[in-house]
């Protein structure tokens, strides 16, 4: 059973359909107790970092996620769900994240539009995967994925950056992770077959 974290924002329906398409059984999780019996966690994300974290704390999901990760449950964070794994974000202020991976979420430089590079970064882009290939990310090696974001992750430790992409000359983490944690900045549910292949690989992953 896959726990899909539902904090009242984001593209829950699209992610649910994509997971079901690759053979997953999905349970929407809105409270900490809903995580009981789930063997994998998907943390999707569209919305504001501050509001996301406030909802997680209000529903005691922050502590429940820490406990699940410590117990070895595989977790996939998508876009904002990936960013929430880090220590803090500078999206419209400075707000604490889950601190499951040390690092910060920062904005693209404000001068990018003047140089012809739009913010948010939106559309298909190459992803360069670090060597050795992560067992989940190997499903998207040499393929393009779909991005929509104005902020990006900067992990504190280089080893936690599992893949990179580039926008307007700015290289950023397209995927981060450690142990049973994996986060992707792109949207698998919007990335057609490449995204479905990644989700299928996540369902088979045994970290």
Q: Give the catalytic positions in this structure.
A: 79, 187, 189
* Residue 83 near residue 89 (C-beta atoms within 8 A): yes
Query: Cβ(45)–Cβ(52) under 8 Å?
Result: yes
Q: What is the Cα gyration radius of the chain?
A: 16
Task: For residue 5, give the 3-state DSSP assignment.
Answer: strand
**Residue 157: beta bridge partners?**
none
Cβ-Cβ contacts under 8 Å for 193 (sequence gap 6 or more): none
- Given phi > 0 = left and psi -120 to 50 = alpha, else beta, which region is 92? left
Instruction: Please state, in angstroms and as integers, the Cα–Cα distance from residue 169 to each residue in 4, 43, 109, 165, following that order.
Output: 34, 29, 10, 10
Q: Quick check: 147 and 123 in contact, CB under 8 A?
A: yes
Q: Check: CB of residue 177 under 8 Å from CB of residue 162.
A: yes
**DSSP tag of 159:** G
> What does the alpha-carbon distance between residue 172 and residue 108 come to, in Å, rounded to a whole number?
9
């Amino acid at each position: 059973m896959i726990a899909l974290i539902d904090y009242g924002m984001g593209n829950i329906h699209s992610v649910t359909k994509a997971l079901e398409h690759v053979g997953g059984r999905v349970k929407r999780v809105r409270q900490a107790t809903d995580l009981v019996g789930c063997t994998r966690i998907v943390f999707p994300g569209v919305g504001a970092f501050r509001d996301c974290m406030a909802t997680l704390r209000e529903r005691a999901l922050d502590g429940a996620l820490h406990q699940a990760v410590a117990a070895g449950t595989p977790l996939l964070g998508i876009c904002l769900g990936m960013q929430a794994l880090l220590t803090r974000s500078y999206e419209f202020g400075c707000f604490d994240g889950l601190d499951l991976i040390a690092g910060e979420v920062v904005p693209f430089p404000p001068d990018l539009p003047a140089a012809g590079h739009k913010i948010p970064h939106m559309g298909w882009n190459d992803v360069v995967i670090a060597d050795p290939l992560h067992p989940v990310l190997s499903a998207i090696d040499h393929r393009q994925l779909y991005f929509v974001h104005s902020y990006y992750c900067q992990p504190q430790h280089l080893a936690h950056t599992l893949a990179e992409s580039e926008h307007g000359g700015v290289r950023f983490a397209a995927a981060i992770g450690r142990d049973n944690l994996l986060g992707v900045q792109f949207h698998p549910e919007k990335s057609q077959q490449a995204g479905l292949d990644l989700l299928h690989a996540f369902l088979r992953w045994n970290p």
